[in-house]
Structure 1
């Protein structure tokens, strides 16, 4: 009963997080498809006793391993995304700090006289302001560029995940077909061996 509740809990989690490892699940086994399709198959294959579902131990262990693998992949993906977001957020914060410092310098400059010494060079106030605004424009451009790169990398990450899901789906379908072909060939070979033995006897 505890394990049945655990399975239902994982089913709810897979619904709430939108977990879809494949767009067309592989039906009829615990070797492929989404967690939802595997749970559905498991429940269909489990006989009922009164109000309880009787699940075979090897099926329960296989389902547990599948769920743990899925959670492991999800955690790794989430951690990778968090690390990327943290690094990019640090870059944006640094640019914001630099921009705030530049604005403060500009305000102080506006209070000074027309002639300003900048790096030992006397400059007019208008020239000095033009230089500072140029720096601000460059910093704003960099800030916009980093925001764009952050959004773009996020989009690329989503596309890569979608492509990975497609590849995994194709691989699972191919593996299933290959297994079916191998089983068919083995059956044919066994039939031939049986025919050969029957012919000799």
Structure 2
């Protein structure tokens, strides 16, 4: 019996849901205490209050507790432990599920961040001849190409104008040569005609 009492005291301390001063402040509420309802703490309080106070042969006081109360209290404590363990298991499962969801969210966040970084990289870079280059370098290269093409255009325009001027000069010289040739041929023809007339005159005189 003393062993059961000690167990009851230990369980009362272990599963107490209210401070001791709260228990002593409710000593006048015996009608509300019961082994069939209330918290484990209130059920222990019920057992303590209903226990009988006796003195042993050696004069030391002790309390007599009905075994049926202790068995009922034990059953209630075990039920409470079972419920508590069930709640703890459910909480542990919930925590594990939440931890798994957090890890999944972290993985998705990492994947999203990687995709975002790739998107920003592609946004800030341009493909040139199959190679990725920054927009700044791309603009420099493109404007360099435009400047080179413009320089080539100016060079060809200059060469065209120069060639055109040479062509016009060559045409003028050709026209001058042709004019001189025509003049020379006219003069030669007139000289030939003059010689022929003179020759004809000489023939006529000899006759």
Structure having greater relative contact order (Cα 8 Å, sep ≥ 6): 1
TM-score (norm 2): 0.45
The TM-score with structure 1 as length reference comes to 0.46
Over alpha carbons, which structure has the higher Rg?
A: 2
